[in-house]
């Protein structure tokens, strides 16, 4: 991006470069009058139904998030409102990789798909869209316990190990969602894309940490219920933004289970209604369950468990030594003692060393471009870990600049060479650099030869933590993978542009009042050229009924819509719900 619009929002301004790359301009002027009508229809339905079943802050929450029922939200207005509760929002192009999504949450920035669903997918779309993201996620964010959970989830998710299968599934899902939103998508292409998603879902192997976390995310943030099993309220964004499923989810055939760590055992399919949902008694319980899972993750367990997950992942991961040194790269090998403690680790390809998530000068991936390897553990016959020895104690074993030292580790690894430099920070030694150095394994095998150059030896008794991604993402120049597929933006033909004008004329009338007789003219054009439309007809009917004018025209439009509901069963519920709102209007004073 040549420019970066932070919307004058501190949370958005604080985003690091590797996350900014996903941001796209909202292009508010690209939304058509039909798009605004779709937003208004869904929001009025949501309000009408959700005021009774949504968790209490939903309606005031809309206002706190800068949303109105009347039109698609403008990102600047949302950011002005969200800044007051310490959050921000940005628009992106469809699905972004799960690790990036999590990190945005950790930075307290809502990620909103810039696109809006088409009229033919008004009830539900598998693609992320602005209705789901803003009307679903934003209203509840004003609840302090909930947004604490959301950002905490993000910070844990950003460290989760993901597998190559996770990535393949992400790509297949993104491709399918884009295809389904194309106006002229090829049925055969959709069928193949559907099959690929199903195939990849069934061949995930053991689910990775990210796959398990995404289940917890799905059963809470997207599809969560709160309260009691008998009378739960909705807080999940997937339900809050689906006018179909927000009603059907309350049916008895959708099982309601208490939300515990057991939710990990339930996978999900984004293309089908959910067979069961989980109810939490309160938001604190969400944090407790997340904490229980986080305790099992590599970034907290470290050791051979974490290194094993890193090797499986085949992605950039970071191993954190007990001295605080962070080694970021593709971990390809490690050796363990008989009691399972790692005593040697190896990365392949570009590797960087960091402290406190900040890259160590001279130890970037250009320096360690071929990988990095180092012992882990204690020295033989020395009780104190090497990282904790004082300068005098180090000097007594020849660890001082210009001296030749021989370090024999308990594991049997021997490092022999001349000390070039010692890096220490906050009372611990993290790195010792040798020249003319030979490293041998316990069988006498050569692990490093003097002809290979300078040897940087990481210092640390153990590996405390292992997490996905680099410690210093900016210095690692980590373009978190960005998908080559982009969402589809239509070109409109003359007929469609005329339909947009008719929708706009109806909107203008509703906002400005005045000559409602003019609506007969719009209706005439709809009948003549756009017989398949139902939403514009419904909006005209709504105004005529509320103004109590043109009874003949009103009866004609009602008859047309009733006939359409009979002839096209897939529209029946949408039209019936539209009639219901005409007869039970959403009161303006509640619509802010």
Residue-level pLDDT, tens digit, the chain, 592 residues? 446 789 999 999 999 988 998 999 999 999 999 999 999 998 898 888 888 888 866 778 888 899 988 999 999 999 999 999 999 999 998 778 888 888 999 999 999 989 898 898 888 776 778 988 888 888 888 889 999 999 999 999 999 998 777 777 777 877 887 787 776 778 888 889 888 888 877 776 788 899 899 899 999 999 999 999 999 999 998 888 777 788 889 999 999 999 999 999 998 877 778 999 999 999 999 999 999 999 999 999 999 999 999 999 888 999 999 999 999 999 999 999 999 999 999 999 999 999 999 999 999 999 999 999 999 999 999 999 999 999 999 999 999 999 999 999 999 999 999 999 999 999 999 999 999 999 999 999 999 999 999 999 999 999 999 999 999 988 886 555 556 666 666 788 999 999 999 999 999 999 888 777 789 999 999 999 999 999 999 999 999 999 999 999 999 999 999 999 999 999 999 999 999 999 988 754 444 3
> Which residues make beta-bridge pairs with 344?
335, 375
- CA distances from residue 477 to 11, 299, 330, 537, 549 in whole angstroms, order as listed: 22, 22, 15, 53, 64
Same domain, 128 and 240: yes
Torsion of CA 532, 534, 540, 541, to 10 degrees: 120
CATH number (domain holding residue 515): 1.20.58
Comparing C-alpha atoms, which of 334, 441, 458, 446 is closest to residue 385? Answer: 458
Same domain, 169 and 229: no
Shared domain for 240 and 284, answered yes or no, is yes
Is 201 inside any structural domain? yes
User: What pLDDT is recorded for position 488?
Assistant: 63
Domain match, 507 and 538 both: yes
Contact 504, 487 (CB under 8 A): no
Is there a single domain that holds both residue 342 and residue 455? yes
Half-sphere exposure at residue 571, Cβ-oriented, CA atoms within 13 angstroms: 18
The pTM for the full model equals 0.86
Is the residue at 409 inside a domain? yes
Write down which residue in 207, 235, 264 finishes a domain. 207
Shared domain for 137 and 197, answered yes or no, is no
b/e 182-194 (16+ beta carbons within 10 angstroms → b): eeeeeeeeeeebb
Does residue 37 contact residue 539 with C-beta atoms inside 8 Å? yes
Cβ-contact 591, 69 below 8 angstroms: yes
For residue 486, being part of any structural domain is answered with: no
State the Cα–Cα distance between residues 19 and 353, nearest whole angstrom.
21
Q: How far apart are CA 498 and CA 29, in angstroms?
A: 17
Are residues 73 and 173 located together in one domain of the fold?
Answer: no
Collapsing DSSP to helix, strand or coil, 493 comes out as: coil
**Domain that includes residue 321, residue range:** 298-468
Distance of CA 348 to the CA centre of its chain: 29
Q: Answer yes or no: are the C-beta atoms of 303 and 333 closer than 8 Å.
A: no
- E-only strand ranges, 341-427: 342-355, 358-359, 371-375, 404-408, 414-425
Cβ neighbours of residue 284 closer than 8 Å, sequence gap 6 or more: 145
Q: What does residue 154 show for φ and ψ, rounded to 5 degrees?
A: -60, -45
Same domain for 194 and 117, yes or no, is no
240 and 128 assigned to the same domain: yes
Q: What CATH number does residue 252 fall under?
A: 1.10.800.10
Domain end (from 404, 433, 468): 468
Closest CA to 439 of 408, 473, 483, 476: 408
**For residue 329, which of 157, 481, 466, 166 has the smallest C-alpha distance?**
466
Q: What is the pLDDT of residue 451?
A: 96
Q: Which residues contact residue 14 at a Cβ distance below 8 angstroms, ignoring those fewer than 6 apart? A: 107
Rounded to the nearest 10 degrees, how much is the dihedral formed by the CA atoms of 153, 158, 161, 166? 90
The answer on 394 and 321 residing in a single domain is yes
Residue 17 included in any domain: yes
Q: What's the pLDDT at 588?
A: 41
319 has which bridge partners? 327, 466
Domain presence at residue 479? no
In the prediction, which pLDDT does 485 show? 62
Residues 252 and 112 in one domain: yes
Let me know if residue 473 belongs to a domain: no
Which residues lie closer than 8 Å to 191 by C-beta, 6 or more apart? none
Q: Rounded to whole angstroms, how far apart are CA atoms 346 and 371?
A: 7
What does the alpha-carbon distance between residue 72 and residue 507 come to, in Å, rounded to a whole number?
13
Is 508 a member of any domain? yes
Q: Which residue has the tokens 């000390």?
A: 419
Same domain for 114 and 43?
Answer: yes
Q: Residue 478 falls within a domain, yes or no?
A: no
Boundary (domain end) residue, out of 419, 434, 468: 468
- Residue in 99, 96, 77 with CA at minimum distance from that of residue 88: 77
How many domains is the chain built from? 4
Instruction: Report residue 509 CA to chain centroid gap.
Output: 40
């Amino acid at each position: 991006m040549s420019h970066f619009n932070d919307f004058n929002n501190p949370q958005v301004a604080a985003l690091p470069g590797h996350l900014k790359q996903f941001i796209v301009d909202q292009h508010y002027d690209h939304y058509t009058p039909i798009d605004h009508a779709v937003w208004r229809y869904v929001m009025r339905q949501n309000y009408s139904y959700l005021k009774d079943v949504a968790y209490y802050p939903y309606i005031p929450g809309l206002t706190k998030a800068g949303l109105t029922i009347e039109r698609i939200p403008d990102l600047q207005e949302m950011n002005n409102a969200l800044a007051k509760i310490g959050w921000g929002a940005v628009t992106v192009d469809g699905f972004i990789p799960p690790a990036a999504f999590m990190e945005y949450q950790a930075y307290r920035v809502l990620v909103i798909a810039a696109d809006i669903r088409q009229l033919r997918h008004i009830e539900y779309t598998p693609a992320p869209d602005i209705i789901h993201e803003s009307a679903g996620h934003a209203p509840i964010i004003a609840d302090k316990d909930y947004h604490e959970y959301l950002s905490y989830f993000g910070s844990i998710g950003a460290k989760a190990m993901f597998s190559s299968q996770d990535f393949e599934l992400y790509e297949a899902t993104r491709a399918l969602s884009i295809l389904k939103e194309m106006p002229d998508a090829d049925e055969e292409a959709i069928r193949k894309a559907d099959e690929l998603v199903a195939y990849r879902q069934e061949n995930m192997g053991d689910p990775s940490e990210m796959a398990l976390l995404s289940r917890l995310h799905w059963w809470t943030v997207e599809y969560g219920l709160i309260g009691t099993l008998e009378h739960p309220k909705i807080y999940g964004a997937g339900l809050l933004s689906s006018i179909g499923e927000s009603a059907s989810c309350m049916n008895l055939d959708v099982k309601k289970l208490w939300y515990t760590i057991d939710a990990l055992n339930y996978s999900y399919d984004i293309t089908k209604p959910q067979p069961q949902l989980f109810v939490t008694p309160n938001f604190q319980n969400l944090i407790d369950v997340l904490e229980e899972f986080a305790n099992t993750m590599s970034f907290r367990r470290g050791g051979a468990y974490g290194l094993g997950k890193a090797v499986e992942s085949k992605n950039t991961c970071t191993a954190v030594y007990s001295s605080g040194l962070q080694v970021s790269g593709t971990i390809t090998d490690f050796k363990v003692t008989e009691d399972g403690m790692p005593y040697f680790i190896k990365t392949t390809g570009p590797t960087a060393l960091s402290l406190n998530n900040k890259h160590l000068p001279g130890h970037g991936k250009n320096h360690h471009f071929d990988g990095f390897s180092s012992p882990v553990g204690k020295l033989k016959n020395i009780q104190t870990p090497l990282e904790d020895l004082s300068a005098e104690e180090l000097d007594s074993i020849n660890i001082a600049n210009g001296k030749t030292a021989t370090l024999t580790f308990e594991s049997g690894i021997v490092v022999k060479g001349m000390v070039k430099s010692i890096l220490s920070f906050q009372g611990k030694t993290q790195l010792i650099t040798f020249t003319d150095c030979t490293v041998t394994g316990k069988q006498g095998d050569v692990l490093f030869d003097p002809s290979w150059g300078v040897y940087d030896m990481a210092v640390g008794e153990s590996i405390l933590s292992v997490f996905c991604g680099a410690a210093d993402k900016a210095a690692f120049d980590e373009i978190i993978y960005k998908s080559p597929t982009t969402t589809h933006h239509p070109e409109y033909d003359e007929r469609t542009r005329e339909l947009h004008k008719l929708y706009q004329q109806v909107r203008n009338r509703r906002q400005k009042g005045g000559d409602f007789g003019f609506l007969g003219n719009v209706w005439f054009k709809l009948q003549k050229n756009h017989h398949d439309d139902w939403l514009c007809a419904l909006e005209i009917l709504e105004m005529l009924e509320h103004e109590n004018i043109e009874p003949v025209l009103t009866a004609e439009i009602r008859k047309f819509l009733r006939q359409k509901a009979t002839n096209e069963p897939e529209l029946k519920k949408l039209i019936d719900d539209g009639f219901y709102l005409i007869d039970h209007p959403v009161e303006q004073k509640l619509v802010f």
